[in-house]
Amino acid sequence: MRSAVAPAAPGERPALTAEARATGIDAAAAAARRVIESLLHAGDSAADLSGVADQLNTIADQLSAQAPTVDERIADMWSGEGVTRHDPVTGPENAIAPPMPIRGLDDGSVEAQVTLHLPYQGPPGLVHGGVSALLLDHTLGTANFWAGASGRTGELTLRYHRPTPLFEQLTVSGRQTAVDGRKIWTEGAIQDASGEVCVSAKGLFITPRPEAIRFGRG
Amino acid sequence: MRSAVAPAAPGERPALTAEARATGIDAAAAAARRVIESLLHAGDSAADLSGVADQLNTIADQLSAQAPTVDERIADMWSGEGVTRHDPVTGPENAIAPPMPIRGLDDGSVEAQVTLHLPYQGPPGLVHGGVSALLLDHTLGTANFWAGASGRTGELTLRYHRPTPLFEQLTVSGRQTAVDGRKIWTEGAIQDASGEVCVSAKGLFITPRPEAIRFGRG
């Protein structure tokens, strides 16, 4: 996931995901997450929604009036600290992200704990299968970064072993298993609170050629 | 995706995704999407964010105060018109969803057009690979519903052929290719505006046994 990021110096452990701050855009994104979830939770019938759309549109208008061009903003997003703050899985600035902080373990793997709520629902009370795929794709990419060899996703295979529950702590893990030239193999899983594997993933990643790295996926 | 839904009468074509209304929760969710995107677009440095978090938290507090219990709400979500209004891909009530309306074609396939913006960004200017997986998983499930035989995702394989661009119209398609007993095979793809395939997907779906359908994924 981090091809554009300078590698950490030897012996230095890079942060794998951005930490949420208590102020500024992170606080606003955290509050926006509460709005998303509370809208879904309240629903049309129970809540008095008169004025909510107007209030939210006013906030959006004010923010948009102060925004740089999209190109400027994208350049700014990617010029920073080396860990993305805006991605839809771990980014504290992105209200779509749960967000799910990922940490690197000494054994070379990565791990995250996350509890998902109504916005991530597929079937009743269960995590949407595509959301599991989203979390695992990102976790495998982060595992590659942690292992020191990153690439673009070439192929990703997900196996759904049992339903993944909402409202309980899930553990999402990833580990690079092999590197052969520009090819990288990586595995991961989502486990429920009792440790049962709900979804497993295997990915083949391809290290981009140097001239492609700036805009490379991986 | 729609195991819990009563099948359409012969000759009747069910709507594949919910239509967004201009009022109520759909309007509030649409405005919340604008807040999510404008936060990411404005960023910390350009925007005056003082008070934004407070305003959003106040809205969330008011909605939460009127919300039913989560169990009541989930039951309500799934007792409705037969097409989910809350899922994270097509749901007009879910601000995480782009939302992406999917339509059934006469040849038995399904298709959607969607343009993705900053909240769905992975690498600079490109769609996050996990977001592509999320859209395709849902589209394949909808293709199964349209074809008349649905199931839980057993296995999903994604191949990433080229980067998927933000800010241009993508076409997401799906088609059921084979059914053998309880096993269903389904394929799909995301194409960019020039028709090039960016990501392709193949899925194996398993029809749940009748007693498991109410809580079945598929």
ipTM of model: 0.90
User: Is residue B122's pLDDT more than 90?
Assistant: yes
Give the pLDDT score at A70: 93
Q: Give the mean model confidence (pLDDT) for residues B150-168.
A: 96
- Examine residue A103 and state whether it is found in any structural domain, yes or no: yes
Give the list of residues 6+ apart from residue B2 with CB closer than 8 angstroms, or none. B82, B83, B84, B141, B142, B145, B150, B218
Domain count, chain B: 1
Q: Which of B160, B167, B206 best tests the A interface by mutation, with the highest count of A CBs <10 A? A: B160
- Examine residue B160 and state whether it is found in any structural domain, yes or no: yes
User: Is residue A213's pLDDT more than 80?
Assistant: no
Q: Give the span between the Cα atoms of B91 and B21, in whole angstroms.
A: 11
Question: What tokens were used for A14?
Answer: 């890079």
Which of the four pLDDT bands, split at 50, 70 and 90, describes residue A212?
low
- Examine residue B201 and state whether it is found in any structural domain, yes or no: yes
Question: Looking at the partner chain, which of A32, A78, A88 has a beta carbon nearest the beta carbon of B124?
Answer: A78
The C-alpha angle with vertex A149 and arms to A146 and A150, in degrees rounded to 5, equals: 90
Q: Give the span between the Cα atoms of A70 and A132, in whole angstroms.
A: 29
Among all chains, which residue has been given the structure tokens 């600290």? A81
Q: Give the span between the Cα atoms of B51 and A185, in whole angstroms.
A: 46
Q: How far is A144 from chain B (nearest CA, A)?
A: 15
Please name which of B50, B12, B33 lies closest in space to residue B117, comparing C-alpha atoms: B33
User: Is residue B80's pLDDT more than 80?
Assistant: no
pLDDT tens-digit map of A75-130: 988 886 667 899 999 999 999 999 999 999 999 999 999 999 999 999 999 999 99
- Least confidently predicted of A46-50, B37-41, B88-92, B104-108: A46-50
Give the pLDDT score at A42: 93
Q: Give the span between the Cα atoms of A199 and B200, in whole angstroms.
A: 20
Which of the four pLDDT bands, split at 50, 70 and 90, describes residue A183?
very high
- Examine residue A185 and state whether it is found in any structural domain, yes or no: yes
- Under an 8 A CB cutoff, do B46 and A40 touch? no
Which residue of B lies nearest to A43 if distances are taken between CA atoms? B25
- Examine residue A14 and state whether it is found in any structural domain, yes or no: no
- Under an 8 A CB cutoff, do A130 and B125 touch? no
- Whether the full predicted model's pTM is greater than 0.80, yes or no, is yes
- Under an 8 A CB cutoff, do A27 and B49 touch? yes
Q: How far is A107 from chain B (nearest CA, A)?
A: 25
Q: Give the span between the Cα atoms of B104 and B111, in whole angstroms.
A: 7
pLDDT tens-digit map of A4-61: 344 444 444 556 899 899 899 999 999 999 999 999 999 987 778 889 999 999 999 9
Q: Give the span between the Cα atoms of B121 and B136, in whole angstroms.
A: 16
CATH of the domain at B159: 3.10.129.10
- Examine residue B13 and state whether it is found in any structural domain, yes or no: no
- Under an 8 A CB cutoff, do B38 and A63 touch? yes
Question: Looking at the partner chain, which of B29, B64, B134 has a beta carbon nearest the beta carbon of A134?
Answer: B134
Which residue of A lies nearest to B74 if distances are taken between CA atoms? A124
Residues of A in contact with B163 (CB under 8 A): 215, 217
The percent of residues above 70 in pLDDT, for chain B, comes to 88
- Under an 8 A CB cutoff, do A138 and B128 touch? yes
Question: Looking at the partner chain, which of B36, B38, B153 has a beta carbon nearest the beta carbon of A67?
Answer: B38
Question: What tokens were used for B40?
Answer: 């990411």
- Examine residue B152 and state whether it is found in any structural domain, yes or no: yes
- Examine residue B9 and state whether it is found in any structural domain, yes or no: no
- Under an 8 A CB cutoff, do B153 and A160 touch? yes
Helix and strand totals (H; E) in chain A: 4, 6
pLDDT tens-digit map of A138-168: 999 999 999 998 888 999 999 999 999 999 9
- Under an 8 A CB cutoff, do B160 and A152 touch? yes
- Under an 8 A CB cutoff, do A217 and B77 touch? no
Give the pLDDT score at A44: 86
Domain that holds residue B53: 24-215
pLDDT tens-digit map of B189-205: 999 999 999 999 999 99
Question: What tokens were used for A156?
Answer: 């990703």
Q: Give the span between the Cα atoms of B137 and B203, in whole angstroms.
A: 8
Give the pLDDT score at B14: 56
Which of the four pLDDT bands, split at 50, 70 and 90, describes residue B216?
very low
CA neighbours closer than 13 Å in the CB half-sphere of residue A108:
10
E-strand ranges in A48-195 read 102-104, 110-115, 152-160, 169-180, 183-191
Residues of B in contact with A53 (CB under 8 A): 27-28, 30-31
Give the pLDDT score at A47: 77
